[in-house]
Structure 1
Amino acid sequence: MALTYSVRIWGIRNRPSKSAPFQLRWLVGDQTHQQPFQTKTLADGRRAELMSAVREGEQFDTVTGLPVSELRKLSSPTWFTHACAYALMKWPTAAAKHRASIAESMTAVTSVLVTSSKGAPNPKTLRSALSSWAFQMVRQESGELTARMDAETPPADIAQALEWVATHSVQVADVPDSDQLRRALAAISRRLDGKRAADNTIRRKRMVLSNALRYAVERDLLATNPLGRIDWAPPQTDDEVDFQYVPGPVLARGLLEAVRASGARGEQLHAFFGCLYYAAMRPSEVAALTKKDCKLPASGWGELVLRGSRPEVGSGWTDDGRSYEDRGLKRRARRSTRSVPIPPILVALLRLHLQLYGVSEDGRLFRAARGGRVRSTEYCGVWDAAREKALSADEVETLLADVPYSLRHAGVSLWIKAGVDPVEVARRAGHTPAVLWKFYAKILRGQQQASNSMIDDALASPDHPQQG
């Protein structure tokens, strides 16, 4: 394709033809192009289209004589084809959870960017076909990545759904249309039950959609990313922790005791939950904790040197088929570590855990009942039972300490209220100071009065020169 701005469009001329007596001629570079028409009105209309492209500063293709916008339209793939290409492009460098997020977002969008609903498959079947077959990649024996639908033979209903969406998907060139984009934005804003999705979910899916459109620009399928011209703003989110549902120190200790008292599995996971509270660790970090990471003296404070995490995700999204992924620490370089001093009570919990249960074959402290990584379904089940014991019937129906992650929020809150420097709190928790302020601003603002009092005391000190 050779493009140029050198375009000259001549007037309409007559020619000796009964079927198409009018002819439009134009010059692109040094190539002459012509097009016959049955009526002068049609010829004038076409000439006006070409003139408009020239006025808008479009380049023309010397081979076809067409403006870039028309050429792009003629060669435009379907959105389904492009979405598959985007998922494949992102797969090698994306974390397993991000791969799943891309598939989820592209499934929602691709399901609605269709030319017709006639003969559409069952929505559940279509979602499964897109998410688990079109947007999930596998590695062939040659080592090359490809979509699962191209490497395996899908069930008949899945194959039919894939054929339908491939046939009915709109062209990428048509996606910038306002109606199409609003249809896509509406799809990412809804849950499967039709209710509004969470604000963070909408923002995350919109980001994936925007990135897919940017990739279309990169591939010269679109001139610009069209999302910016749509009068639709992602919802504003308040990421600050709602502290009315974060357990205080007394309740946190009560919940930990309820975990221990919930049965044999609770006893085995007691120290797991202790790490969430006393070290403010993420569950994925606790799952990756090994014996060599622990410095557990017979008395006094100890230390955990965190080296990585094991976030849980479906086996179809990992490179090795496991249900989790070995990752570095969140927001840190792959091989970086984070040192977390731990109080004597957690030291004792971990020493007792090692004494009673030892470690797994790879040296990790915590494992599932049948071996392997501790699954979220397993520790969440223990947590639900502990809430039933530690909370009142009315409190159980609220969001108070509704998930194990509440213990991490409780731990960070305790450090802030104890007067620990926020920079040190952020370091121990694996946050940046900016992120700490984003999530814990209410508590940090509450500490300002105490800080002001300390500054007043310092200013009133005899060692501080007083202004005369």
Structure 2
Amino acid sequence: MKSREVRIRGIQVNALAGRKKSYTVRWIVGSEPKSRTFSTRALADNFRSDLMQAANRGEAFDQASGMPESLLKPEEAVTWLGFVLRYIDMKWPGAAAKSRESMTDALATVTGALVRDLADRPNPALLRRALREYEFPPAARQLDRPADIAAALRWLGKASLPLPALAESAVVRPALDALGLRMDGLSAAATTTRRRRSVFYNVLQYAVELELLDFNPVDKLRIRSTRRKVAGEVDRRVVVNVRQARELLAGVTYVGTRGKEGRRGERLRAFFACLYFAALRPSEALGLRQRDCHLPEQGWGLLTVEKSRPAAGKRYTDSGEVHDDRGLKHRGETEAREVPIPPELVAILREHIDRFGIGADGRLFRSGRGNVVASSTYSRVWDEARALSLPPDRVASPLAGRPYDLRHAGVSLWLNAGVPAPDVAERAGHSVDVLLKVYAKCLDGDRSRMNERIEAALSQ
């Protein structure tokens, strides 16, 4: 607090036997007595004179330090880099591994743009690597840093803008633009840009919460950067029909060289089948355990899905493993969902367990060494299966371009079969509104059937 109620007293001479004299200036701010001792009378006189002049000018005195505003040492401004580290330390413990990865991606992108123009600027790719692998993840800050990484971070420590500078639109606008670019300078995907902007906005909002900024500049400065529309619907061109799905699953089994346990693709056929017939997310299929599967000899089975193994990277998981071990998306930590599965998938899963067994932890799908199957591995298998199973014109098209597109096809199949939207949403792990907005698509090859219906109606 500050006060203009100031009383300045005379200088007290301190003369103790055998010691050199000292001189103490005493004054009172509000009701708080203050003092400062000097070695010479001249220094004490000068300080008392400064206090008197400040009081005569009507300056407010800080009650904690007793100093007038003109003599207060300006606080060293917090830099953007320093505040980002503070924000990360606050968010990290409660964030999922994928959220941590997304957060560091956004902050590494924007931090490189919020710097002064100093000489010897590091390569942008090196600076980004230094932030994502060594500076941002809390556990990685204790790692030994290569010379080029250490030099890049020293440069950034000097060049990082003070946080108050972000109150200027001329500073924030280029930062927002940087969030929409890839490392090669081309435009990032619309979903990536939106996610990065959200992280940046939240960091600024945290600064407002701590009263380090008076307002969020993105709001108050009414900055309108170019924002591309984010596709809210699945591209119908990626959705396979039942025949195409079965052909692709058969094609998977021909991928790789045959070994003692068969080809590499044969180990993954049941994994891809779960994405289509049960509409599981890849991370959910990777977390599937034998105890989660009710697989009768005849009829429909049931999957109880309660685990997810999304790939994030060792620096972002608490366990230090590449894959996080967590609950389901959009659900509580221990909340599960039940997915009825048709006899065709029951038979595929029973065959997979009989042939390849299960992991030590009960997981169905694992690499030859018993590890979680990497996304790069199953993506390569899928690319080869598409080339083996689809005609050349389809291979060049978006049809089933990613393993995740099997999930889109599975949900679309249920909807077109007449399953009520609430039931489909429950099985797929979505809300009804998201389901109808994103997944309500016709299957590839069904357009002719729809055209026949319209033609019949027009001929009446």
TM-score by length of 1: 0.78
Distance 1:4 1:412, change over 3 A: farther
Return the letter of the residue paired with 1:380. S
**Pairwise mapping of residues 195-206 of structure 1 onto structure 2 (< 5 A)?**
195-206=186-197
> How many residue pairs are counted as aligned between the two chains?
391
Distance 1:277 1:222, change over 3 A: same
Residue 219 (structure 1) aligns with: 210
Query: What is the CA distance between 1:203 and its match in structure 2?
Result: 0.5
Q: Tell me, yes or no, if structure 1 residue 155 matches structure 2 residue 160.
A: no
User: Which AA in structure 1 matches 2:367?
Assistant: A
- Checking the alignment, whether the CA contact within 8 Å between 2:4 and 2:55 is kept in structure 1 is no
Amino acid at match of 1:261: Y
After TM superposition, list the pairs within 5 Å mapping 1:96-175 onto structure 2. 96-138=97-139, 148-149=140-141, 151-175=142-166
Q: Deviations over 1:321-348 (max 9, x none)?
A: 1010111011001101100000000000
Match of 1:398 in 2: 397
User: Is it true that 1:302 corresponds to 2:301 in the alignment?
Assistant: yes
Contact 2:125 2:183 in 1 (8 A): no
Partner residue, 2:77: 76
Distance in 2 of aligned mates of 1:440 and 1:62:
66
The AA in structure 2 aligned to 1:202 is T
**Cα 1:297–1:216 shift into 2, 3 Å:** same
Give secondary structure in 2 for the equivalent of 1:340.
strand
Change (3 A) 1:5 1:99: farther
Query: 1:22 Cα shift?
Result: 12
Alignment of 1:210-289 (within 5 A): 210-228=201-219, 229-233=221-225, 234-263=227-256, 264-289=263-288
Matched, 1:430 2:429: yes
**1:65 corresponds to which of 64, 69, 87:** 69
Question: Which is further off, 424-433 or 151-160?
Answer: 151-160
Structure 1 counterpart SS, 2:383: helix
Amino acid at match of 1:346: L
What corresponds to 1:12 in structure 2?
none
Counterpart secondary structure, 1:310: coil
Q: SS at the partner of 1:305?
A: strand
CA contact (8 A) 2:54 2:68 kept: no
1:432-462 alpha-carbon deviations (Å, 9 max, x no partner):
1121122124559x9xxx9xx9xxxxxxxxx
**Contact 2:412–2:440 (CA<8 Å) still a contact in 1?**
no
Contact 1:26 1:32 in 2 (8 A): no
Judging changes above 3 Å, is the alpha-carbon distance between structure 1 residues 121 and 302 closer, same or farther for their aligned structure 2 residues? same
Work out the CA distance in 2 between the residues paired with 1:422 and 1:64.
Answer: 69
Partner of 2:379: 380
Aligned positions of 1:272-351 closer than 5 A: 272-351=271-350
Deviation at 1:130, TM superposition (A): 1.1
**Closer, same or farther: CA 299–74 of 1 in aligned 2, 3 Å:** same
Q: Please state how far the C-alpha of 1:74 moved relative to its aligned partner.
A: 4.4
Code of the residue aligned with 1:276 in structure 2: it is L
Aligned-pair CA distance for 1:117:
4.0
- Report the AA paired with residue 189 of structure 2: A
Relative distance call for 1:386 and 1:27 in structure 2 (3 A) is same
Is residue 26 from structure 1 mapped to residue 74 from structure 2 by the alignment? no
**2:302 counterpart SS class:** strand
State the identity as a percent. 44
Paired with 2:145 and 2:223, the residues of 1 have a C-alpha distance of: 40
Q: SS where residue 112 of structure 1 aligns?
A: coil
Q: CA deviation at 1:416?
A: 0.1
Q: Contact (CA 8 Å) 1:312, 1:375: kept in 2 or not? A: yes
Q: Report the residue type matching 1:79 in the other structure.
A: W
2:183 is paired with a residue whose SS is coil
Which amino acid is the alignment partner of residue 239 of structure 1? Answer: G
Query: Contact (CA 8 Å) 1:199, 1:236: kept in 2 or not?
Result: yes
1:344 to 1:441, Cα distance in 2 relative to 1, 3 A: closer
Change in Cα spacing, 1:326 to 1:22, as seen in structure 2 (3 Å) is closer
Counterpart secondary structure, 2:359: coil
3-state SS of 2:57 partner = strand
Equivalent pair of 1:25/1:32 in contact (CA under 8 Å): no
Could you tell me how far 1:219 is from its partner in structure 2? 2.0
Question: Could you say if the C-alpha distance between residues 22 and 309 of structure 1 is closer, same or farther in structure 2, counting changes exceeding 3 Å?
Answer: closer
Letter of the 2:133 counterpart: S
CA distance in 2, matches of 1:254, 1:4: 82
Where 1:315 maps in the other structure, the secondary structure is coil
Distance 2:56 2:328 in 1: 65
2:174 to 163, 180, 183: 183
User: RMSD of the alignment, in Å?
Assistant: 2.8
Distance verdict in 2 for CA 1:84–1:5, change over 3 Å = farther
In the alignment, structure 1 segments of 5+ residues that lack a partner are 7-16, 34-60, 139-147, 454-468
**AA in 1 matched with 2:182:** R
Ranges in structure 2 where 5+ consecutive residues have no aligned partner = 6-48, 257-262, 454-460
- Spell out, residue by residue over 1:113-135, the C-alpha distance to the aligned partner (whole angstroms, 9 max, x if none): 11114211122211111111111
Tell me if structure 1 keeps the 8 A contact 2:415–2:440: no
